[in-house]
Amino acid sequence: MQESNRELTQENERLLSEALVAKRLAVENRSLRRLLGLKESLKGLDMVAARVVGRELTPYYRVNRMSIEPGEGVAPSRDMAVVTPEGLLGRVVKVAGGYADVMLLADKRSRVACEVLGRGVLGMVLGNGHSDGYQAILQVSVTEKPLENGAVIQTSGHDLVFPRGIEIGYVAEPDKARQKGPFTEYDVVLAVNPATVEHAMVLAKKVPSGE
């Protein structure tokens, strides 16, 4: 009886292990299919697949360590945009061998030219560098009309690094907007949570300004 129970236990453990592997592969396949869909939606831009192999999230230096998967004969370099199906992740700031350091949007050094979807409002998304939340700041001219809660922010393409139309995030609590010099500042909840990203796409060349 003990031998039979031991065999049943081993068989259950084997089946559980196989089920977990199958589930992991299914999740990875879905992620890769979404990346292929992203590549199709950004036709005309050379891309190379990237896999996250490490993360460093600190208050004033938010960087993801990523390994660049070989493909299409494209070598990554500084200032290449890194995108996911959910939206913009950041930009490459350092390349060494098969690895690239990616500056995330919440990094206090990050700057992304942007526009408010459907409003024709141009601005800049700045990383806030705070450790208590993965957020950024939207700066627009004080002459612009107030933005509504949940207003979608996307890349404008005017910085010649990020292609136009990639989602960045959305305006949060516009009633807490503040004036800073000639700008109105809004808090921005970013579309991509870097803690959940396993795969991304690196744009292999700079892009022309959006019209």
Higher pLDDT, 205 or 26: 205
In a domain, 120, yes or no: yes
Per-residue pLDDT tens over the stretch 34-92? 555 556 656 666 777 888 888 775 655 556 666 666 555 566 788 889 998 889 999 99
Looking at the predicted structure, is the pLDDT value of residue 105 above 70? yes
pLDDT band at residue 27 using 50, 70 and 90 as cut-offs:
very low
| Contacting residues for 101 by C-beta, under 8 A, at least 6 apart | 63, 64, 65, 66, 92, 93, 94, 95
Per-residue pLDDT tens over the stretch 123-181? 999 998 776 667 899 999 999 999 999 999 999 999 988 988 899 999 999 999 999 99
Domain of 124, in residue numbers: 111-190
Give the domain CATH number at 176.
2.40.10.350
In a domain, 99, yes or no: no
In a domain, 60, yes or no: no
In a domain, 49, yes or no: no
In a domain, 186, yes or no: yes
Domain count, the chain: 1
- Among 28-37, 109-118, 192-201, the range of highest mean pLDDT: 109-118
Higher pLDDT, 2 or 81: 81
pTM: 0.74
pLDDT of residue 54: 80
Among left, alpha and beta (phi > 0; psi -120 to 50; other), residue 71 is left
In a domain, 103, yes or no: no
pLDDT band at residue 209 using 50, 70 and 90 as cut-offs:
very low
Residue 126 burial (10 A CB sphere; 0-12, 13-18, 19+): buried
